[in-house]
Structure 1
Amino acid sequence: MNPFINLGIRHDIVNAITELGFENPTPIQEQSIPVLLTGSNDFVGLAQTGTGKTAAFGLPLLELLDFEENFPQALVLCPTRELCLQITNDIKNYSKKMSNVHVVAVYGGASISDQLRQIKRGVQIVVATPGRMLDIINRNAIDFSRVKYVVLDEADEMLNMGFQEDIDNILSTTPDEKKTWLFSATMPAEVRRIAKKYMTDPYELTMGTKNTGNANIEHEYYVVRARDKYAAFKRIVDFNPDIFGIVFCRTKIETQDIAEALIKDGYNADSLHGDLSQQQRDKVMKRYRERSLQLLIATDVAARGIDVNDVTHVINYSLPDEIENYTHRSGRTARAGKTGVSISIINAKELGKIRQIERVIGKKFAKVDIPTGFDVCEKQLFSIVHKIHNVQVNEQQIEQYLPRIMEEFKDMSKEDFIKRFASIEFNIFLDYYKNAPDLNAPVEEGRRFERDGDRSSYPRSGGKSEYTRLFINLGSVDEFNRGDLLGYICNQSKISGRSVGKIDVKGVYSFFEVPHADVDKVTAGFNGAEFKGRPVRIEIAGEGVSERRDGGYQRREGGYRGDRTGGERRDGFRNNRGGAERDGSGGGFRDFSGKRREEHGERRRRF
């Protein structure tokens, strides 16, 4: 018998969650569900992300609401679109064996008219982000006068994102006699104030100590010189061949630059930050959830609400400005009882911040040395051996090729075959890490590192003497960011992603740098190329095109301003959206199938 029955959950719901793989309640579920099922208390639940909070409030809601009635009875507020959709889908899955359950997700970045139609048809549970919910309320399109329960999920994150006023305005439309359930990973003063304002003698449940981190997470830090930070980061990734991680940076610019540098170096990565459109963000997250991305480079704000299972590592490329944000970052791994690792790459002057974080989360960090080149090669070799040993063989499909395979290897001994096969990838890392330097920084030299703090810790493009700046008539209105454009250029011109220098994406055009020797190859690669039915034009920036201060460009030899097609005169820019879909192999990196793009002897990274 499923233990959820003993918590007071009825059979049809238990049967549904059993099919979803729910076997035993998590601690927050075990402690909170019996309390919430009484429906008589306001409630404050403090628990880390990934501990099963959605079921902790979702299952009691399904027990307490009257689904014979089609008016809003419960409102769930959460900080981000991703979390809104996740909660909505989870509650729908929990209720799949029930009838007449209507759950609507209300969030920005999607058609408000579709959401209004769903609400008009009848709904009992509304899951919403504050901004879009307030927009719908201001249109008088929903009536919360009979709402019985309001859930504030990830309350600390909503307040950190500046939703205090929106939450106040939304809750003012709900009845005083409702019950408010607040769930949060941390309990800063702002969350405490909102609990006092909207709750009466709430039942408070704390799993672990307030503001502490998940007990299943190992916390590690590496001390490096600022100038070696990017190289050390890559070596840490190489030392963990099966990594599926989120990398946190402090700024949008740093996020984009790190992702771009990783793509050039052959890693399967992309960025997530506030400058992306909703369509671009959805594309990145779809690839990450499908695991066709292995590293997601993100800012704190952009990553909020991300709920992806089996994240093995969280890497703090830059420590957060706010100590409490470390708890949210590390909580992206070790979800649902699994284990994970949170890594921080710091310089010596940041050791004090590590000690502060230790005091807040109640756990000690382990100081770890950057692995040597030999360590990385050894780890990669046995990763290959392990994959070969566990590979699933499709007997039916491979059968027809076996005679030719056996004929090819008939003169080779078993030992020689194994050595050669393992060496295919091993030699790549062996060559790359030959004479690899020690990247560990002596802690006692911390004062010296302060001078390095302003230096770039990731590769920049070469000097003017080595690179030619090219113009291309594609830009952000075509849904290109720098990573997308890098992949498009490399796929079209068949050059190495590592050879492309600085990329500057504007609105309706962009500039990028390539070595002088590759200019003719790039120009030839785009000869006759079209994008969405429009000719793609490549020119040397200094010869025919110059930037305008107003964000457009002009042809210096007398062409037309705003010319997007190379022919007809236009009074404005044509907004051609849609963008190129990166296929996971653009920009010189591999997808998970292991197919390699040739890089003229450059070291390739296998995922």
Structure 2
Amino acid sequence: MTFDALGLHPHLLKAIHALGFETPTPIQQTAIPRLLEGRSDLVGLAQTGTGKTAAFGLPMLQLINPNKAAAQGVVICPTRELCLQITADLTRFARHLKQMEIVAVYGGAGMADQIRRIKRGAQLLVATPGRLLDLMHRGVVSTAHVQFVVLDEADEMFSMGFQEDIDEILKRTPGTRRTWLFSATMPAAAERIAKTYMKDPIEVSTGRRNMGAENIGHIYYVIKEADRYAALKRLIDIEPDIYGLIFCRTRAETRNVAEKLSQEGYPAEALHGDLSQEQRSRVMRGYRDRALRILVATDVAARGIDVEDISHVIHYNLPDETERYTHRSGRTARAGKSGLSLMLVNSREVRRLPELERLSGVRFERGEIPQGRDICEKQLLTIVQKMADVEVKHGDMAAYLPLAQKALSSLSKEELIQRFVSVEFNRFLKDYHDSQDLNVRSVKREKRAGAFTDNAERDVRRFFINIGRLDKINEGAIVRWVCDKTGIRSKTIGQIHLKREFSFFEVDTRVADKVLSGLRNAKLDNRSVTIKPVDNSPSEGRRSVAKPISKKYSSRTNRRHCAKKRPANRHADPRRG
């Protein structure tokens, strides 16, 4: 099938052909004909990089009246980067549609120009939720004529905490509007939006819900926390032609990792929310031009990256929100190509992998951090191959060869080879001289229940807290809360077990008293938290084995939760980055 068979206007087809697009992607083939009818709400599920912008953008451009100077279409997306990317794509699609005005509306930039362009009669707005709502409150944006609303990267918006903003925006638009929701995964918040604001939506999907791309290899490496950066370097060095994207959890760690790599000679830069738009554009220009081969980014800053040839996605840290893994890994293997998603995990983090597998629909394979000798051999062969393949311009070189021959005449053939190879190879010999094995081999997958476990005995103390999955928390939120309230380091926190209405977590016994006193009257998002130590079983020595909670305590806890409606708090701040 070609774009010509989808029923698109000749002006749009002319722009598409000029951009070099010939065959629509599966999500485009399925969604475009249905959306062109303009009568149905739609939920589109497809991975990042599968052409969702064209899938909703082309039908919207065709259905909007360019002669009517009023906002008729609104595309809502999570970040300014994605907002600018979508605007650029739609502008290219609409290049032959006269009088069509498309405006990007996003925070972190001055309002004056955005307001001026909106008042000039923009027909299509591409906006982040906060800035759009602000302009609605100011009376700048009128939704009276809005016919189409697109929620792009919907799962990402909800994980970033924009549920209330989306609710208010949709309530302010006409009830006759069509709502098109596009997402890589379908979390509960997106399901609620579909049930509340959409009328019998059609669902189109290029695979199972929440499933990662099939042409991505998913590999995890178990390392000690102290070896995380050293392990990252080895994953980079074993792939001389790597064109990679490294994900870190925080802005500070993103800067730190990028600075270390750059100082050691790697072509790397950081991408995070503290960068100005000019700085971000400079970094992305270098990355797209391959002057930079490694980009170190936070989850939020990476939204809107539209680069097709990324070979590796490396998770320096696992994401706080499990669903973000699909978005991260989807940055590679775009446009039908293959790629690798590599994860660095310590022995405590391994237990999260079954949940990642379940939600993303993939299977993780355990890998081995390369040994120093393997890296040196790979780099040596790469250098030699480059020398063998280099183009020699004999005519241009003729005038200069006598100078080189004279300077090198005292060296034998073997010495010449050694010296030319050593120009690039000495760094690897230095870095990996007497290098150690970085793999942690005591962590294995248990056969029962498919769980992961660390089989090394640990001197730990276990605690009960009366918050669980119903409170919309995850393991990362508990780690940050405990560390913030008690001052202990995250590496002293052991396994965390989230239950429906309560949780358990382990800490090193040396900090157990500090944890108990620091959390006794602590609150989490203004909610009082009860903490109770759980005795270890004497029969197991120093290993952590919890005794069951008494029936009296458990019943009292359950009655309290049943009698009182739980607030929908967000303990993890997903807007970091």
TM beyond 0.5: yes
Amino acid at match of 2:429: L
Matched letter for residue 9 of structure 2 = R
Against the structure 1 CA distance between its residues 391 and 88, is the aligned structure 2 distance closer, same or farther, given a 3 Å change threshold?
farther
CA distance in 2, matches of 1:12, 1:392: 45
Specify the code of the residue in structure 1 equivalent to 2:35: L
- The aligned amino acid for 1:52 is G
Whole-angstrom distance in 1 between the partners of 2:413 and 2:227: 42
Moved more, 256-265 or 389-398: 389-398
How far apart, CA to CA, are the structure 2 residues paired with 1:301 and 1:436?
35
Residue of structure 2 in register with 1:336 after alignment: 335
1:317-353 per-residue CA deviation (whole Å, 9 max, x = no partner) reads 1212222111111112222222211100112333321
What is the CA–CA distance in structure 2 between the aligned matches of 1:10 and 1:65, rounded to whole Å? 12
Where do 1:587-598 residues align within 5 Å? none
Cα gap change, 1:376 to 1:274, in 2 (>3 Å): same
Kindly tell me: are residues 406 and 125 of structure 1, through their superposed partners in 2, closer, same or farther at Cα, counting changes over 3 Å? farther
Conserved? CA contact 2:442–2:455, under 8 Å: no
User: Structure 1 residues 122 and 379 mapped into 2: Cα distance closer, same or farther (>3 Å)?
Assistant: same
Query: For 2:348, what is the secondary structure of its paired residue?
Result: helix
Per-residue deviation, 1:450: 7.0
- Secondary structure, aligned partner of 1:333: coil
Cα RMSD for the two superposed structures: 2.8
Q: Deviations over 1:486-509 (max 9, x none)?
A: xxxxxxxxxxxxxxxxxxxxxxxx
TM superposition shift of 1:186: 0.6
Q: Distance in 2 between matches of 1:229 and 1:330?
A: 19
Find out whether 1:114 has 2:124 as its counterpart: no
User: 1:55 aligned to 2:54?
Assistant: yes
**In the alignment, which residue of structure 1 is the partner of 2:562?**
none
Aligned to 2:150: 151
Q: Which amino acid aligns with 2:49?
A: G
Q: Distance in 2 between matches of 1:162 and 1:170?
A: 14
Q: Distance in 2 between matches of 1:451 and 1:268?
A: 42
Instruction: State the Cα distance separating 1:175 from its structure 2 match.
Output: 1.3
Number of paired residues? Answer: 456
Alpha-carbon shift at residue 291 of structure 1 (Å): 3.5
Q: Is the 8 A contact 1:213 1:331 kept in 2?
A: yes
Q: CA deviation at 1:96?
A: 2.0
The range that moved more, 68-77 or 387-396, is 387-396
Residues 1:70 and 2:69 aligned together: yes
CA-CA distance at 1:44 after TM superposition = 0.3
- Asked if 2 retains the 8 angstrom alpha-carbon contact of 1:225 and 1:449, the reply is no
Taking structure 1 as reference, are residues 279 and 19 closer, same or farther at Cα in structure 2, changes over 3 Å only? closer
1:350-380 residue CA offsets vs partner (Å, 9 max, x unmatched)? 3321222122222211211111112111221
For the structure 1 residues 449 and 39, does the alpha-carbon distance in structure 2 shift closer, same or farther, using more than 3 Å as the test? Answer: farther
Q: How does 1:262-411 map to 2 (within 5 A)?
A: 262-276=261-275, 280-389=279-388, 391=390, 401=400, 404-405=403-404, 408=407
Is the Cα–Cα contact under 8 Å of residues 81 and 301 in structure 2 kept in the other structure? no
Q: What is the aligned partner in structure 1 of residue 95 from structure 2? A: 96
| 1:415-470 deviations in Å (ceiling 9; x for gaps) | 7655543332123312321221111111348355978998899xxxxxxxxxxxxx
Per-residue deviation at 1:20?
A: 1.7
Q: Partner residue of 1:597?
A: none
- The aligned residue for residue 517 of structure 2 is none
Is the contact between residue 43 and residue 203 of structure 1 (CA under 8 Å) also seen in structure 2? yes
After superposition, where does 1:183-582 map in structure 2 within 5 Å?
Answer: 183-276=182-275, 280-389=279-388, 391=390, 401=400, 404-405=403-404, 408=407, 417=416, 420-444=419-443, 446=454, 448=456
Q: Would the aligned equivalents of 1:347 and 1:449 in 2 still touch at CA under 8 Å?
A: no
Q: What is the rounded CA distance, in whole Å, between the counterparts of 1:81 and 1:238 in structure 2?
A: 33
* Runs of at least 5 residues in structure 2 that lack an aligned partner in the other structure: 445-453, 461-478, 480-487, 492-577
Contact 2:244 2:314 in 1 (8 A): yes
Q: Secondary structure at 2:182's aligned position in 1?
A: strand
Structure 1 alignment gaps of length 5 or more: 458-607
Query: Which letter does structure 2 place at the counterpart of 1:84?
Result: C
Q: How much does 1:149 deviate? A: 0.9
Give the residue type in structure 2 aligned to 1:194: I
Matched AA of 1:18: H
Aligned mates of 2:120, 2:412 — CA distance in 1: 71
Cα distance, 1:24–1:227 mapped onto 2, change above 3 Å: same
Partner of 2:435, secondary structure, is coil
Say whether 1:33 aligns with 2:32.
Answer: yes
Residues 273 and 302 of structure 1 are in contact (CA less than 8 Å); yes or no, is this contact kept in structure 2? yes
Look up the SS of the partner of 2:323 in the other structure. helix
1:19 and 2:18 matched = yes
User: 2:107 is paired with a residue of what secondary structure?
Assistant: coil
Describe the superposition over 1:64-88 as per-residue Cα deviations: whole angstroms up to 9, x where unpaired: 2222222212111111111111111
The amino acid of 1:166's aligned partner reads D
Alpha-carbon distance in 2 for matches of 1:211, 1:124? 33
Rounded Cα–Cα distance in structure 2 between residues aligned with 1:168 and 1:389 = 62
Q: Output the CA distance in 2 between the equivalents of 1:296 and 1:150.
A: 33
* Comparing 268-277 and 92-101, the one that deviates more: 268-277
The one-letter code matched in structure 1 to 2:184 is A
Does the Cα contact within 8 Å between 1:244 and 1:312 map onto a contact in 2?
yes
> Bigger shift: 438-447 or 124-133?
438-447
Report if aligned partners of 1:7, 1:30 keep a CA contact under 8 Å in 2.
yes
| AA at the equivalent of 2:295 | L
TM-score of the two chains, using structure 1 as the length reference: 0.69
Separation in 2, partners of 1:367, 1:410 = 51
In structure 2, C-alpha distance between the alignment counterparts of 1:61 and 1:410, rounded to whole Å: 71
Instruction: Write the distance in 2 (CA, Å) between the matches of 1:450 and 1:263.
Output: 37
Q: Which moved more, 1:419-428 or 1:54-63?
A: 419-428
SS for the counterpart of 1:348 is coil
Letter in 1 for 2:330: G
Cα drift, residue 409 of structure 1: 5.5
Describe the superposition over 1:467-488 as per-residue Cα deviations: whole angstroms up to 9, x where unpaired.
Answer: xxxxxxxxxxxxxxxxxxxxxx
Is the CA contact 1:79–1:158 (under 8 Å) kept in the aligned structure 2?
yes
**Structure 1 residue 393: Cα displacement:** 6.7
Structure 2 CA distance for aligned equivalents of residues 399 and 154 of structure 1: 58
Distance 1:100-1:405 versus aligned 2 partners, 3 A rule: farther
- Which deviates the most, 96-105 or 189-198? 96-105
Counterpart contact for 2:222–2:443, Cα < 8 Å:
no
Q: Over residues 526-580 of structure 1, what are the superposed CA-to-partner deviations in whole Å (9 max), with x where a residue is unaligned? A: xxxxxxxxxxxxxxxxxxxxxxxxxxxxxxxxxxxxxxxxxxxxxxxxxxxxxxx
- Give the partner amino acid of 2:156: E
2:84–2:104 Cα contact (<8 Å) kept: yes
CA distance in 2, matches of 1:451, 1:246: 37
Counterpart of 1:209 in structure 2: which amino acid? Answer: R
| Between 426-435 and 20-29, the greater mean CA deviation after superposition | 426-435
Quickly say closer, same or farther: Cα 1:194–1:391, change in 2 above 3 A.
farther
TM-score by length of 2: 0.73
User: Does 2:34 align with 1:10?
Assistant: no
Identity across the alignment (%): 53
CA separation of 1:261/1:410 partners in 2, compared to 1, >3 Å: closer, same or farther?
A: closer
Give the letter for the 1:176 counterpart: G
